[in-house]
Structure 1
Amino acid sequence: MSNLDWAVLVCTLLFIVVYGIYRSRGTENIQGYLLGNQSMPWYSVCLSVMATQASAITFLSAPGLGYSSGMSFVQFYLGLPLAMIVLCVTFVPIFHRLKVYTAYEYLEQRFDLNTRALTAFLFLIQRGLSTGITIYAPSIILSIILNINPTFTTIFIGSIVVLYTVYGGTRAVSYTQMLQMAIIFSGLFAAGVIVVQLLPSSVGFGKAISIAGKMGRTEAINFNFDWDNPYTLWSGLIGGFFLQLSYFGTDQSQVGRYLTGSSVGQSRMGLLMNGIVKIPMQFLILLIGVLVFTFYQYTKPPVFFNRFELNKLENSAYAPQLNSIKAEHQQAFQAKQQELDKLGLAIDQGDEQRIDAQRTLLLAADVKEKEVRKKTTDLMLKNDANADINDNNYIFLSFVTEYLPKGLIGLLIAIIFLASMGSTASALNSLASTSVIDIYKRLIKKDGSDKQYLKASRWLTFFWGFVCILMALYASKIGNLIEAVNVLGSYIYGTILGVFLVAFYLKKVNGRAVFIAAIMAEITVCICGYLQVVAYLWLNVIGCLLVIFLSLLMQALLKKPDHLPEKSL
């Protein structure tokens, strides 16, 4: 990066951290630290909720998904508006009325301490693991820029976030997330415009989309019902609805965001606006990835997008073989360009017959180019069996650092850092609040003072930051980050959602029945996920419905008869 880009990056990050610490000064009690004194307006709630979900993973991996598989991932969010409506009608007023710090407090009031502890424990596992992945995402950026091992950048990024989250708590998170989302929207819009401007003069926006469509990148909606396909209309509406309902309704990282609303109405408005804005936002992020895909049809892409891994191979004994592969890659790209030019001419002339024929030839040329890339990853594994051969997360980053103008590179990289900081800070805050309120205060120190609980909150924020950094060090082996986070959530969210739905609507079910049902459901979901019985989004539906069904069954089996028979003498 240029000196200007470094200046923009450092100044943006420094300003956000200082601003968050400044606005959160004077936090002296646990309510202010965990809930921001419940003083946030609806727009702050909305932006905070969006920033918590839109981590650096979104801005690194989502364009990569658009590049590699097209727009189909947008279907993942189709159930979000429906989930927001249900939340506003049920969850939000209940949580506000009970004046809870965490979602799991309600479960003890409704059931018992065992159920509360179980759901809190499941949340801590899921959020602790996924936050590690969130921290790892921006460390990729620094590792590429500085050409150093991601281990060092992971520790650095994690430490920055832990610093201002430990100090300021929820108020620091909420105030910084408002600025982060404003910068993020501006930067993404600029990136989309510049991608189109970098295309050849004969290729405008419409033609770029048309070419991407001919190569299978623009199908946003799949109406087929397929249990094995994670991204269809039905998996998005049904499986996505259950996942989003559980995530926003029972995950403390999100519940803690809208509990900061100054009233039920402010929290509701924030959630509804999130449901309206999120799908178009995700659509545009994927569209940027599709446009980058078209750009790399006219401009030769690197043989492998992860520069750190490629440098290791270039400096190894396999360098001569790599050079041979690069030459083969150049030939494959030139052959594909010839077919691409013919397709572009057919599109300009509107000749559908030639378009179909040329599309087939172009796809065949694309397959040959992918075969050359496969030779590169095979050679990487020969050189290092532990090499990271999935470069999906590096595609957009590679484009940004290579082709965007000076200054904007620093801003877009700052955006990815800010997104990571926002979502990671929210997660650390929620992990600390759940640990203090549901575990420490309830099971360890029941009669502590407010200052003791505030101190414990800060120490537990630091502890979870350390744990998540350790998790991040192992995140390079899990493939596409945005999918990994959602797969991980699908193993747990359905079970937790089922417990809450039983609590809300099945008043005759007691704590013992739902506790057993939750354990049985979670075991079943883990088995189904491990065996890959269905696509991961359906695990949310299975977990939720199993908890409801098994709770009713357990309640019937465990129910004592009204009149016990007298013992015989």
Structure 2
Amino acid sequence: METLDWYVLSGTLLFIVVYGVWKTRGRQSVADYVGGGKDAKWWTIGLSVMATQASAITFLSTPGQAFHDGMGFVQFYFGLPLAMIVICLVFIPIYHKLKVYTAYEFLENRFDLKTRSLAAVLFLIQRGLGAGITIFAPSIILSAILGWDLRTLNVILGLLVIIYTVSGGTKAVSVTQKQQMFVIMFGMFVTFFFILGYLPNDITFTKALKIAGANDKLNILDFKFDFTNRYNFWNGVTGGFFLMLAYFGTDQSQVQRYLSGKSIRESQLGLIFNGILKIPMQFFILLVGVMVFVFYQYNASPLNFNPSATEAILQSPFAEDYKNLEEAHLELEVQKKIAQNNFSKALELKEYSAISEAKTKIIAINTKDQANRATARNLIKQADASVETNDKDYVFIHFILTNLPRGLIGLLLAVILSAAMSSTASELNALGTITALDLYKRNKTGNFSERHYVNASKVFTLVWGVIAILVACVANLFDNLIQLVNIIGSIFYGNVLGIFLLAFFLKFVKGNAVFFAAVLTQIIVIVCYYYLIHIYPPGQEKLSYLLLNFVGALLVMFLAVVFELFDRLLKNSSVHNA
């Protein structure tokens, strides 16, 4: 990082924060602080919804995901458009009609206080964990740049986000996210075209796609009925649909975005806007990762992209073994470049036997490369078990820091940190709101002023910010960050979604049946996750984690209906015996 990068980075972030504070000055009522004034236009809602979901994790992990595993991750979002339609037709009209500040107020009206409180607590657990991960993600960036300790950076970044969120409330989050989304997409497009410009002169975009295809990076659609596969069409449409329906329909960090809409129509248009643009946006971000992969077919790449891991192994007794692996890695990179050039020439000459032979050679070399990298990871783990060996989340940041020109590095870091600010601010804002209104206000006796509850929201936002920092300090990358966030959500979202679906569509089911069904369902889902997913290595799970959303939603509905019918049977039996 040079002086110009620091100017671009600090100037961009400072403008966003100052603009948000200036636009939301003087807002002190609950309606303003929590509800955002109920005056947001559809484009503000749409961009705010997208920015809330597009955290720093999206721009760190998604390109790395594509670099390693290709474009198949986009299938995760295939259930999104259908979920947007259902929310627009069912959820939004009910929320606006009841004039609620939180989604869980509706559950008390429909069921009872304990069901509302249970759903709120489940949200607080999973979103509190998620907020910690969104703080942890940008810490990786600054750690790679400055060489600072990750935990120190977690504390610094967390405090900055807390100050930003506590001061502005919902309106500050919404109005700044328009600027953040502009910075984010502008930065990603500029990076994409720079990557293409860095490829050899004879490698056009079309040829780059063919090279990616030869390396199995463009396998977008997988129609196999495989419930253990994390990302295929059917799991995306079913598990992805239930996850998106729960996230956008019941997660307060998203509900709070469109409840600030000026009208039902503005909220609906905002979500439709998100539903139309979200898949193309994720497709493009994955494509950036694929182009980074193509770039590294012709340029040197590290054996492990995590600089901390490399430093740890080189200072250990295993340093010589690792250097031998690096030499083998360099030899493979030379072979890889030759094979890619042969493939490119065969494409130009349209010699199909040569194309097939070159493709086979490429696959064989990349298989050896993957095995070499896996051996390196195992060696790093032996040298220092505390160092993160999984480097998916470091791929894109390594490319940015080592290849982009001065000034653009600052812009790209502003992109990722803007995403972190927007998503973390939304999450902390929602956590503070839920705690203040669904738990504190609802269970507190006595009359208190609006100012009291605004201050309570700020205090609880601060508390959750501290909790998020603590979570960030003990975070593990797992397979990679974006999957970790989705796994956490999948464990809880299905259950909460099922509660809302019961409230909307099964009017005969009452509060007691729903409450006990939800408690039992959450226990079952956690057990399923542990025994069918967690204890197995990535890629060998017995169930895709996306399907936990589907299982949780259907299970809580089934159990609630059974409990309700059983309760009525007992009551009828008692009346008959009497």
Shift of the 196–446 alpha-carbon distance from structure 1 to 2, 3 Å rule, reads farther
- Number of aligned residues: 567
Structure-1 separation of matches of 2:35 and 2:337? 56
Corresponding residue for residue 402 of structure 1 = 402
Superposition CA RMSD, Å? 1.3
| AA at the equivalent of 2:225 | F
Structure-2 separation of matches of 1:563 and 1:130? 47
Corresponding residue for residue 539 of structure 2 = none
**1:393 is the counterpart of 2:393:** yes
Corresponding residue for residue 312 of structure 1 = 312
Listed as ranges, the matches of 1:434-449 within 5 Å are: 434-445=434-445, 447-449=447-449
Listed as ranges, the matches of 1:228-377 within 5 Å are: 228-377=228-377
Shift of the alpha carbon at 1:378?
Answer: 2.5
Structure-2 separation of matches of 1:353 and 1:521? 56
Shift of the alpha carbon at 1:317?
Answer: 4.2
Structure 2 length-normalised TM: 0.96
CA contact (8 A) 1:148 1:308 kept: no
CA contact (8 A) 2:509 2:561 kept: yes
Structure-2 separation of matches of 1:74 and 1:224? 16
Structure-1 separation of matches of 2:313 and 2:148? 14
Shift of the alpha carbon at 1:332?
Answer: 1.7
Listed as ranges, the matches of 1:109-188 within 5 Å are: 109-188=109-188
Structure 1 window deviating more from structure 2 (314-323 vs 9-18): it is 314-323
Secondary structure at the residue paired with 1:6?
A: helix
Corresponding residue for residue 189 of structure 2 = 189
2:564 pairs with one of 555, 560, 563: 555
Structure 1 window deviating more from structure 2 (303-312 vs 133-142): it is 303-312
**1:506 is the counterpart of 2:517:** no
CA contact (8 A) 1:313 1:383 kept: yes
Shift of the 565–374 alpha-carbon distance from structure 1 to 2, 3 Å rule, reads closer
Corresponding residue for residue 550 of structure 2 = 541
Structure-2 separation of matches of 1:391 and 1:48? 30
Q: Deviations over 1:360-393 (max 9, x none)?
A: 1111111222232233222322221111000000
Shift of the alpha carbon at 1:342?
Answer: 1.4
Instruction: Name structure 1 gaps, 5 residues minimum.
Output: none
Structure-2 separation of matches of 1:363 and 1:44? 46
Structure-2 separation of matches of 1:28 and 1:121? 26
Structure-2 separation of matches of 1:483 and 1:52? 17
Shift of the alpha carbon at 1:477?
Answer: 4.1
Structure-2 separation of matches of 1:230 and 1:318? 35
Structure-1 separation of matches of 2:447 and 2:121? 22
| AA at the equivalent of 2:250 | T
CA contact (8 A) 2:312 2:387 kept: no
Structure 1 window deviating more from structure 2 (270-279 vs 438-447): it is 438-447
CA contact (8 A) 1:339 1:361 kept: yes
Secondary structure at the residue paired with 2:509?
A: coil
Q: Deviations over 1:484-526 (max 9, x none)?
A: 1111111111110100010011111100111111112222211
Secondary structure at the residue paired with 1:475?
A: coil
| AA at the equivalent of 1:561 | N
CA contact (8 A) 1:253 1:430 kept: yes
Q: Deviations over 1:462-490 (max 9, x none)?
A: 00000001101122342300011111111
Q: Deviations over 1:519-566 (max 9, x none)?
A: 122222112211224201111111111111111111100012188146
| AA at the equivalent of 2:265 | G
Secondary structure at the residue paired with 1:534?
A: coil
Corresponding residue for residue 575 of structure 2 = 564
Structure-1 separation of matches of 2:259 and 2:324? 59
Corresponding residue for residue 491 of structure 2 = 491
Corresponding residue for residue 83 of structure 1 = 83
Structure-1 separation of matches of 2:404 and 2:348? 28
Corresponding residue for residue 535 of structure 2 = none
Structure 1 window deviating more from structure 2 (361-370 vs 311-320): it is 311-320
CA contact (8 A) 1:66 1:217 kept: yes
Shift of the 376–562 alpha-carbon distance from structure 1 to 2, 3 Å rule, reads closer
CA contact (8 A) 2:139 2:153 kept: yes
CA contact (8 A) 2:308 2:387 kept: no
| AA at the equivalent of 1:188 | M
Structure-2 separation of matches of 1:526 and 1:268? 34
Q: Deviations over 1:96-128 (max 9, x none)?
A: 111111100000010001100110000000000
Structure-2 separation of matches of 1:565 and 1:321? 80
Shift of the alpha carbon at 1:142?
Answer: 0.3
Shift of the 566–307 alpha-carbon distance from structure 1 to 2, 3 Å rule, reads closer
Shift of the alpha carbon at 1:314?
Answer: 2.9
Q: Deviations over 1:183-225 (max 9, x none)?
A: 1111111111111110000111011110110110001111111
Shift of the 380–562 alpha-carbon distance from structure 1 to 2, 3 Å rule, reads closer
CA contact (8 A) 2:490 2:546 kept: yes
Secondary structure at the residue paired with 1:221?
A: coil
| AA at the equivalent of 2:325 | I
Structure-1 separation of matches of 2:111 and 2:495? 16
Structure-1 separation of matches of 2:446 and 2:523? 32
| AA at the equivalent of 1:95 | Y
Structure-1 separation of matches of 2:98 and 2:136? 37
Runs of 4+ in 1 over 6 A off after TM superposition: none
Structure-1 separation of matches of 2:479 and 2:179? 30
Shift of the alpha carbon at 1:178?
Answer: 0.8
Structure-2 separation of matches of 1:156 and 1:345? 51
Shift of the 185–563 alpha-carbon distance from structure 1 to 2, 3 Å rule, reads same
Q: Deviations over 1:52-72 (max 9, x none)?
A: 000000000000011000100
Structure 1 length-normalised TM: 0.98
Structure-1 separation of matches of 2:148 and 2:514? 49
Corresponding residue for residue 529 of structure 1 = 529
Shift of the 446–332 alpha-carbon distance from structure 1 to 2, 3 Å rule, reads farther
| AA at the equivalent of 1:475 | A
Shift of the 494–524 alpha-carbon distance from structure 1 to 2, 3 Å rule, reads same
Structure 1 window deviating more from structure 2 (476-485 vs 265-274): it is 476-485
